[in-house]
A = this chain, B = another copy of it.
Amino acid sequence: MKLEKLVGERFKEKPSDCQVESHALMVRGGYMKYVANGIYSSYMPLKRITRKIEQILREEMDAIDGQEVQFPVVMPASMWQESGRYESIGKELVRFSDRNDSPLVLGMTHEEAAVSLVREYGQSYNKYPFMIYQIQTKFRDEARPKSGLIRVREFTMKDAYSFHTSQEDLENYYEKCHKAYERIFARAGIPEVVSVASDSGMMGGSVSHEFMLLTGIGEDSIAICSECNYKSNMEAAESIIKYERKEPSQTLEKVYTPDKQTIEEVCAYLNASAENSCKAVVYQRNSDDKFIVLFLRGDLEANETKLTNHLGFDIHPAVITEDSPLTAGFIGPVNLSGDVIVLYDRSLKGMNNVICGANEKDYHYKGLDFERDLQGVQFYDFAKIKEGGICPKCGKHTIGVFRGIEVGNIFQLGTKYTKSMNMTYLDSNGVLQHPIMGCYGIGVGRLAAAICEVHHDDYGPIWPKAIAPYQVHLCAVRPDNEEVKAFADNLYNELLDKGVEVIYDDRNVSAGIMFSDADLLGVPLRVVVSPRNVKNGVVEISARDKSFNLSAQMNCALEEIIKLL
């Protein structure tokens, strides 16, 4: 391919709407173009990258006995009504009607389609286990698409679905798939991806893992223990607080705290530490706006995922008005009345001498003893794990909190979908059973962007060899020089003959423009033929990642390049 003919524009200025480097570089390098919010078109360089990623995905899925199938993008609403998700999923699921007013949806995931495809096939135990997967376009109407290809509305995804007759078999396969994912990320050039325990969210099921690429721009927070191998998504990480009573309990006393509404203000005013306080975080049930009050230790934050899982319904941050049964800024567990759901985080269990709201404007209590003053209270884990917190695995205060991009996930779904969609098989005793499912996803575009995010410099992406759009970027500097042009043309053709993916820049432009374009395309090997090099009888070969830069004799150039690849 001649660079002159490559459709797409490359330019120097960082686009103002790009918050993350991968997005800016992929726009500046002519990889992608904005179509609508969270929707992009790909130019050829990106298409070549994603096709290589897809091929890696395909090979690794085939290697664990996956069968490539294809589900439709457009599905009938009835299929999603069967699983119950037509009602339970919010606006992310695009719903529309066809010319006959039949309700349809756009596929954002394909558990329903997978069950539907194999429901008749999988009627006997001897068909199991099996795994089917597809690589297909999906659409999810995200509220806030951002960061280029990292959070989009339309995306290409590899999604796989396995079916089993026992939990043990699922777990074995889950482990195989976990290893396949490790191979995929290693082959794609990011072996540093870590898998972390996660919350299963809307997918259902219990055990699940996310594969995280740690980078500051990640949207997810991950708790990692520096001592043992514990890793978990913040949403799923258990928060452990060890509390020991240090002093005898004081009496419960109401104190005047004028205009001190936040827990920080109150603690400062009363000269106490936030660790000795109890704060209230208030939500409302989506369906009827009923209030939910969560009490937790003043220095901790609420983990909404744990809260939602406990409640079993969707909630939103509360709007407290004068008509509400709650006194905003002064809410506490003592004498709290009104039609509200009250929950306690286990950080509070056993605490004494605690400061808390008095449910009365401008008043707090001090000296609260949770054992003495509150009866029949249940404590659960509703708090976020903290930097420096206790590791749920090794018990040391060694938790660090990091940011990461989720580049893949695997779920043990159990029988959520096979039960709701009534998929059954006869086991070896002739008894009807529901198969047990796992599902396994990797977003292709997001993976490409994530790789760019951790493999770039100021001048462009540094694509790992296995997914680079080309292997060699050949520059003929000053192609008006006959010797340069003749040698470069010949080398280009020789490389093509050898099956090397080469992009050839023989434009009449300055070396500066050539090199900055080469940097933006991020091809592993750059080969420069120039008048000076030709005069010295050499070509210059350098690595995009700057790991080497050498001169090869012109007559050995081809050989040297092949060797370096």
Contact = CB atoms under 8 A, between A and B. Distances in A.
Interface residues of A, number: 57
Contact of A113 (B35, B96, B106, B120): B35
A5 B47 CA distance: 33
A43 B120 contact: no
A130 B70 contact: no
A8 B121 contact: yes
A71 B7 CA distance: 14
A139 interface: yes
A7, A46, A130: residue with the most chain B Cβ atoms closer than 10 Å: A7
Contacts of A120: 9
Nearest to A139: B74
Contact of A41 (B5, B117, B153): B117
Interface stretch (A97-105, A214-222, A225-233): A97-105
Contacts of A117: 7, 33, 41, 43
A184 to B, nearest CB: 19
Interface string A116-146: 1110110000010010101011010101000
Interface in A38-78: 39-44, 46-48, 50-51, 65, 67-76
Nearest to A117: B41
A550 interface: no
How many copies of the chain does the oligomer comprise? 2
Contacts of A70: 41-42, 46-47, 50
Interface string A394-433: 0000000000000000000000000000000000000000
A99 B91 contact: yes
Interface in A1-29: 5-9
Q: Is the interface of A mostly helix, strand, loop or mixed?
A: mixed
B35 A69 contact: no
A39 B99 contact: no
A159 B75 CA distance: 23
Contact of A7 (B72, B79, B130, B143): B130
A143 B132 CA distance: 32
Contacts of A67: 5-7, 43-44
Contacts of A113: 35, 41
A436 B130 CA distance: 51
A519 interface: no
Contacts of A51: 68
B132 A75 contact: no
Contacts of A96: 94, 96
A210 interface: no
A36 interface: yes
Given A9-B121, A130-B7, A137-B137, A35 B72 contact: yes
A545 to B, nearest CB: 26
A501 B520 CA distance: 39
A43 B69 CA distance: 5
A521 to B, nearest CB: 14
Contacts of A36: 72, 74-76, 102, 104
Interface of A: 5-9, 33, 35-37, 39-44, 46-48, 50-51, 65, 67-76, 79, 91, 94, 96, 98-99, 102, 104, 106, 113, 116-118, 120-121, 127, 130, 132, 134, 136-137, 139, 141, 143, 153-154
21 contacts: A5-B67, A7-B130, A7-B132, A9-B121, A33-B117, A35-B71, A35-B116, A36-B75, A39-B72, A41-B69, A41-B70, A41-B117, A47-B70, A48-B68, A73-B73, A73-B139, A74-B106, A74-B139, A74-B153, A74-B154, A136-B137
